[in-house]
Amino acid sequence: MRWVLHVDLDQFIAAVEVLRRPELAGLALIVGGRGDPTERAVVSTASYEARAFGVGSGMPLRIAARKAPDAVILPVDAPAYLAASAEVMAAVRAQPGAVVQVLGWDEAFVGVDTDDPEAYARRLQHAVLERTGLHCSVGIGDTLVRAKIATGFGKPRGVFRLTAENWDDVMGERPVIELWGVGPKVSKRLVALGIRTVAELSTAPEDGLVAEFGPRMGLWYRELGQGGGSAVVDDTPWVARGHSRETTYQTDLADRAEIEQAALTLLEQVLDDVAEDGRPVIGLGLKVRYAPFTTKTFTKRIPETVDRDLVIAKARELIARIDPDRPVRLLGMRAEMALPDDAREGRAPTRGAW
């Protein structure tokens, strides 16, 4: 039988740091920013010991430090995590018959034909541990959705199977926010429709979902409630859809000219990245986080172009939408690129933006 496995490294970034500093094993460990909680930065990851204090990814570092005052706080070291990820994925790809679709530094789908998916998962875990010293959890499913969700039940270091056979028993009474792809905003909209549990979503009237979310997403959320969707693991190489840069400023930017210059500086960095890809720009995005913590995102489609000056001119139109009366704590710029010809023909998947 063809199975989908979802491989997810346990507390990946923290685990990499512990490999480099074994004395940190068992301690509350937080990784984020430059490792200084007095600066503006967010938590990239927290060890299980730190999570016990309520520390989580995306939390402001200063708040994390207050929740876990004895925690060790380390700066982000992206090259180290990228190198560790490459070793993990090499170990996964080396497994017999594995078709591997990488989702990020610390997770991947694996498609495999096997009569014993649990045994295969255990061998995969052992191979990753032996090559990298890192532990992973594996979800087993008959669709990508079920495999992805199954991993959460297997953590840490475990294996869990979630299929059509046990979907209702395992997921039926759980809140919809526990589904992969349903965040707080969508969850609130579903609850407003009287849909609170996965079982309720799986049988919700299609017309109500379509009216709320549109024909494509409305039907997708219903299918998601059933654990359905694709079972195909696609190992086609990932193609970047765009490049982005963002910066959190240690002191709020309040002067209009200073804000504009900061945004244009980020754009220049983005366009340097785009130039290395050699593809034209087709869209722009601007992220603004006003003090204390309100985020707005503005986007703009532009005619396909490689003219740097034209892109900058169009970006200025977005920058003009920044509220002049509100201090800014974070800025981000993004450029969307035209896809290569082979990706346009459907032979390469793409990933989204921020």
Q: Which residues are catalytic?
A: 107
The strands making up 99-104's β-sheet, listed across from edge to edge, are 99-104, 107-113, 2-9, 136-141, 159-162
Measured on CA atoms in the order 111, 114, 120, 121, is the torsion positive or negative? positive
Per-residue HEC secondary structure of 201-266 comes to HHCCCHHHHHHHHCHHHHHHHHHHHCCCCCCCCCCCCCECCEEEEEEEEEEEECCHHHHHHHHHHH
Amino acid type, 244: S
φ and ψ at 185, to 5 degrees? -65, -45
CA atoms within 13 A on the CB side of 195: 25
Please say whether the beta carbons of 114 and 120 come within 8 A.
yes
Segment (H or E) for 99: strand 99-104
- Give dist(CA 90, CA 234) in Å, integer: 16
Closest by alpha carbon to 281, among 250, 310, 253?
Answer: 310
- Which amino acid, 245? R
Distances in Å between the Cα of 212 and the Cα atoms of 92, 199, 208, 306 are 40, 19, 6, 38
Is the preceding omega at residue 96 within 30 degrees of 0, hence cis? no
Q: How far is CA 251 from the centre of its chain?
A: 28
Cα atoms in the 13 Å half-sphere on the side-chain side of 321: 15
